[in-house]
A and B are shown apart, each in its own frame.
Chain A
Amino acid sequence: GAVVSQHPSWVICKSGTSVKIECRSLDFQATTMFWYRQFPKQSLMLMATSNEGSKATYEQGVEKDKFLINHASLTLSTLTVTSAHPEDSSFYICTPAGGYNEQFFGPGTRLTVL
């Protein structure tokens, strides 16, 4: 089946720094990538949809200047959390769309901001 990778799997950073999370679709070319975040004991919440070669679309309440998304190629999308603060600590998950019906998800990236 499809393989989706994320890097890093976990990251700890100081408040005020920026963190980049990579999501790769390893066996098909994804024109669209969905990014989610998940707080403890909560469900996955869709943050944004990235589209290869164009600007991402953000869900209501998600700050586009804080969560920068770049979808530079058909196999790579990145999410950069700028000037991270403790409230940004979360589990970030991606999934590429447009490939398999099954819709495979990445393993997630655990961000902890001190």
Chain B
Amino acid sequence: DAKTTQPTSMDCAEGRAANLPCNHSTISGNEYVYWYRQIHSQGPQYIIHGLKNNETNEMASLIITEDRKSSTLILPHATLRDTAVYYCIVRGSNRDDKIIFGKGTRLHILP
């Protein structure tokens, strides 16, 4: 079973920051938090991942709470192309560890 819970859907106005929360209260010390998104009829696209420090790349920022029980993905300036289902995943440090998807958050960017 997935170790994460996310809101089913969210709306965000175009140009504003989209903040997507994720709860992972049973995360283990060596498990990473990964974020992917899936645009309709495509494979999941990697966004960002982190262990305990906040991370930022050209797509997004990942804020992980100090107790690591939750995290937030931030898309700083949402565009219509960011409309997708966003998945938060907890995964072990072994690259052969399974990747179990939860239900994700359907993000609607409103013009």
Contacts and interface: CB of A to CB of B under 8 A. Distances in A.
Answer whether A and B are interacting partners: yes
Interface of A: 1, 4, 6, 31-32, 34, 36, 43-46, 49, 91, 93, 95, 97-99, 101-108, 110
B50 to A, nearest CB: 11
A107 B41 CA distance: 8
A99 B98 contact: no
Given A43-B87, A103-B46, A91 B100 contact: no
19 contacts: A1-B46, A32-B96, A34-B98, A43-B101, A44-B38, A44-B101, A46-B98, A46-B101, A49-B98, A98-B95, A98-B96, A99-B95, A103-B34, A104-B46, A105-B44, A105-B45, A107-B42, A108-B42, A110-B41
B46 A43 contact: no
Given A108-B41, A108-B43, A43 B104 contact: yes
A101 B49 contact: yes
Contacts of B87: 43-44
B21 interface: no
A102 B49 contact: yes
A43 B45 CA distance: 14
Contact of A95 (B38, B49, B99, B103): B99
Contacts of A6: 43
B44 A44 contact: yes
